[in-house]
Structure formats: C-alpha cells, structure tokens
Amino acid sequence: MSRKLGWFLAGGLLVALLLAGVVSNFASGSPDGLDSAAREGCTFDAAGEITGGHCMARQEQAHQLRDSPLADYGIRGIDNPYLSTGLAGATGVLVTFGIGAGAFWLVRRREQKAG
C-alpha cells in the first residue's frame, strides 16, 4: 500500500470516528420519516404513548437484540448518555472499518494467488 493511500485511509477513519463519537450526540431525537409515517392515525397521551387510533405503530414489537451491549444507540453500563452514544458510534465505525479492511484483504489475496 502506498504511503499516500495509508494517510488517506487514516484521515478518513479519523474523520468518521470524530463524526460518530462527537457529532452523533447532536442528532435529532424526533422521529424520522419512517417512524412518523408509522405513527400517522394514532392518538397519544401527554407522555407520547399510543392510546388509540389506527396506525402501523400499534403493531410494533420489541427488537430481539434489545438487550445487546450496543442496543438503543448506546453502550449498556455507561451512565453518561453522551459518552455512551459517542463510544457506541466509534465502536460501530471501527467494526465497519475492520470488516471492510478484512474483505479487501481477502479479495486482494485471492487476486494475487490467481495472477
């Protein structure tokens, strides 16, 4: 790997880590488009809980991985919500980068054997 490519990848990884670790804490807590569409036709109480109406959100069920260490955009066991969200985002970036790097390494290795 060339030196320029290494610096480019390291810089990209650093930017992604900063965005996931810091900027993710400023994301909107409002429902996104899919959540908003699913909640159309529902009636809500003051706490935002569905009390009636006809909407897709009434069919909602708990996710199977709701008890996993990285569930709900945070890390279980860390009480500071900003730190928890930031670390979960950085962990996601590192895992994604690792999987991508491993896939590229396997493809490159396979091409070298064939060539």
pLDDT tens across 63-92, in order?
A: 888 888 888 888 999 999 999 999 999 999
CB-based contact 85:71 (threshold 8 Å): no
The pLDDT assigned to 43 comes to 92
Looking at mean pLDDT, say which of 30-39, 52-61, 78-87 comes out highest: 78-87
Query: pLDDT category, 7, cuts 50, 70, 90?
Result: very high
Tokens of 30: 């409002």
Query: CA–CA distance from 24 to each of 35, 49, 56, 70, 109 (Å)?
Result: 19, 25, 28, 15, 35
Per-residue pLDDT, averaged over 43-60, amounts to: 89
What is the CA angle 72-34-79, rounded to 5? 15
Query: pLDDT category, 12, cuts 50, 70, 90?
Result: very high
What whole-number distance in Å separates Cα of residue 50 and Cα of residue 40?
Answer: 11
Mean pLDDT of the chain: 89
Most distant CA atoms of the chain, gap in Å: 66
Per-residue pLDDT, averaged over 40-62, amounts to: 89
What whole-number distance in Å separates Cα of residue 111 and Cα of residue 69?
Answer: 37
How many other CB atoms are there within 10 angstroms of residue 10's CB atom? 10
The pLDDT assigned to 66 comes to 85
- 94 vs 108: which has the higher pLDDT: 94
pTM over 0.85: no
